[in-house]
Amino acid sequence: MDKIKVIGKQTLSGKIYISGSKNSVVSLLPAAILSDECVIEKVPHISDVDNLEEILRFLNVKFSLESGVIHIDSTQMVNKSITEEYSTKLRASYYFMGALLGRFKRVEISLPGGCNIGARSFDFHLKGFEKLGAKVMVKDNLYIIEADKLEGAVIDLPFPSVGATVNIILAAVLASGKTIINNAASEPEIGNLIQFLNSMGAKIKGVNTNKLEIIGVSQLHGGKVRVIPDRIEAGTYILAGVMNGNNLEICDVMPEHLTSFFEVLDKMGARYKIDGDKVITNKSLHLKPVNIETAVYPGFATDLQQPITTLLLQAEGVSVLRETIYENRFQNTKYLNEMGANIEVLGDTIKVYGPTSLRGKLVRTSDLRAGAALVLAALSAEGETTITDIKHLLRGYSDLIKKLTNVGAKIWLIDE
Ligand code: EPU
């Protein structure tokens, strides 16, 4: 069951409830092992969570998931080498570097996986660990990171990397003394992690800023957190509503996390209304073309770059979109062009010539957000689209088919 079929041009109306954020929960789960018992609420139903569960169980952590609430008990945890079999299933497996180093002062782990959207090096993470006093050794693809003692340090990140900020926080909370992270990432998901760790007794200041101060503590106690709503999932369904909605309501959103996205929708003349934690969307005609450049938070999120490209196809004129975070995040354009789009790729920039009408086709999901872009295209296209390799989509969109079917989309899994 690695394919979906979509019959396009259905009107979408009703309510879609946004799940907990993928990029939050994937750091909260490794963070949970820093104390003995933790509770995580509003957990999305995505395969990245299943893959982290496998790693936790492999490390002898007790894990239960019921109605979106995870209970974790790591009192009997064993620090084992995390082999490729586990690590390559997702990017965030590398958050066990920071978490295990923090808890046991030693970790052995193979390379992470994740979407093939660029080089995605993690040198800043490793340099951060070294600054805290750890030694990093690499044998083939196995990373061995260990320290007699972790000591607080001042770490200047060359770029506000989300992953490096998370990993350094995880290693530093149990270090002795003070760690400062300058040029830290300030994405809302980092705020969610800090909230969780502080609920366990960590001392982290500077939430939502680019300078974090972590005062190491000797031990953490049990903690609890609710995963924040997934701003990228919300953005994706808002786009579906702007293309095909009739009062389609996207519920449980934190609109303050989507400011740059709404600015672009406003420039385009999209029809939507924010009402508390709801965004009400309607099919929008005569959209204007725009220029977009992706940036770190609070700029326009790279994770919404591919989904919004599908909306740009409907604008009346040429839109220009520059991707500044990843080198290889335009793999959706090939398939969109096969569906009838006219997109030119020029290095880190694409030119989208609109408006275009799309036709259903056989297309392939190359990575998570490319998959979202193709689902949006299929919902707007004439006829039937088959999307293959949807395992990428299932990594990050909770109950995608159910949510869309509930609001009138014709979309189903196929068994061929
Ligand atoms: N970078 C380095 N060295 C490092 C770390 C990063 O050169 O040590 C570069 C990367 O190669 C990339 C850029 O810095 O070009 C940004 O990387 P960052 O570390 O900020 O991203 P990430 O932690 O790998 C997370 C999300 C991504 C999201 C980015 C940016 C998770 C698990 N992943 O990735 O989410 O695009 O932040 O917001 O949180 C997605 O959800 O589709 C996704 C890819």
Same-domain check for residues 264 and 195:
no
Q: Which of 23, 121, 127 to mutate to test the pocket of ligand 1 (most atoms within 8 A of CB)?
A: 23
pLDDT at 240: 98
CA of 302 to the centre of ligand 1 (A): 9
Number of independent structural domains in the chain: 2
Same-domain check for residues 11 and 53:
no
Q: What is the mean pLDDT of residues 394-402?
A: 96
Least confident of 89-93, 243-247, 294-298: 89-93
Q: What is the mean pLDDT of residues 343-370?
A: 97
Q: What is the mean pLDDT of residues 172-194?
A: 98
- 247 pLDDT exceeds 90? yes
Question: Which residue has a Cα nearest atom 10 of ligand 1?
Answer: 120
- 113 pLDDT exceeds 90? no
Same-domain check for residues 235 and 352:
yes
CA of 155 to the centre of ligand 1 (A): 18
Question: Which residue has a Cα nearest atom 18 of ligand 1?
Answer: 161
Q: Which of 161, 236, 322 to mutate to test the pocket of ligand 1 (most atoms within 8 A of CB)?
A: 161
Backbone torsion region of residue 312, taken as left when φ is above 0, otherwise alpha when ψ lies between -120 and 50, otherwise beta: alpha
Last residue of a domain, one of 191, 208, 226: 226
User: How many CB atoms within 10 Å of residue 317?
Assistant: 13
Atom of ligand 1 nearest to the CA of 92: 32
Same-domain check for residues 181 and 289:
no
Q: What is the mean pLDDT of residues 114-125?
A: 86
Q: Which of 162, 165, 210, 327 to mutate to test the pocket of ligand 1 (most atoms within 8 A of CB)?
A: 162
Atom of ligand 1 nearest to the CA of 369: 42
Look up 38 and say whether it is catalytic.
no
Give the residue from 146, 149, 44 showing the smallest Cα distance to 100: 146
| Tens-digit pLDDT profile for residues 49-103 | 999 999 999 999 999 999 999 999 999 999 999 999 999 999 999 999 999 999 9
Helix, strand and coil percent figures for the chain, each rounded to 5:
35, 30, 35
pLDDT at 1: 62
Q: Which domain holds residue 265?
A: 3-18+230-414
The pLDDT > 90 percentage for the chain reads 95
Pocket of ligand 1 (CB under 6 A): 22-23, 26, 91-92, 115, 118-125, 159, 161-164, 185, 187, 302-303, 325-326, 368-369, 396
pLDDT at 144: 97
| Tens-digit pLDDT profile for residues 136-150 | 999 988 999 999 999
Catalytic residue, chosen from 77, 115, 321, 336, is 115
| Tens-digit pLDDT profile for residues 321-345 | 999 999 999 999 999 999 999 999 9
Question: Which residue has a Cα nearest atom 26 of ligand 1?
Answer: 23
In the block, residue with structure tokens 């680019």: 210
* CA dist., res. 360 & res. 343, Å (int): 17
Residues in contact with 54: Cβ distance below 8 Å, sequence separation at least 6, in sequence order: 86, 89
CA of 161 to the centre of ligand 1 (A): 6
CA of 159 to the centre of ligand 1 (A): 10
pLDDT at 415: 78
Centroid of chain to Cα 294: 15
Atom of ligand 1 nearest to the CA of 124: 8
Same-domain check for residues 307 and 369:
yes
Same-domain check for residues 245 and 321:
yes
Same-domain check for residues 50 and 166:
yes
Same-domain check for residues 68 and 131:
yes
* CA dist., res. 372 & res. 334, Å (int): 14
Question: Which residue has a Cα nearest atom 24 of ligand 1?
Answer: 163
Same-domain check for residues 160 and 63:
yes
Atom of ligand 1 nearest to the CA of 115: 44
pLDDT at 141: 86
pLDDT mean across residues, the chain: 96
CA of 163 to the centre of ligand 1 (A): 6
Same-domain check for residues 166 and 211:
yes
CA of 175 to the centre of ligand 1 (A): 25
Last residue of a domain, one of 198, 226, 254: 226
| Domain CATH code at residue 62 | 3.65.10.10
Same-domain check for residues 83 and 97:
yes
CA of 91 to the centre of ligand 1 (A): 9
| Tens-digit pLDDT profile for residues 305-320 | 999 999 999 999 999 9
Last residue of a domain, one of 179, 205, 226: 226
Same-domain check for residues 238 and 190:
no
In the block, residue with structure tokens 């689902």: 375
- 117 pLDDT exceeds 90? no
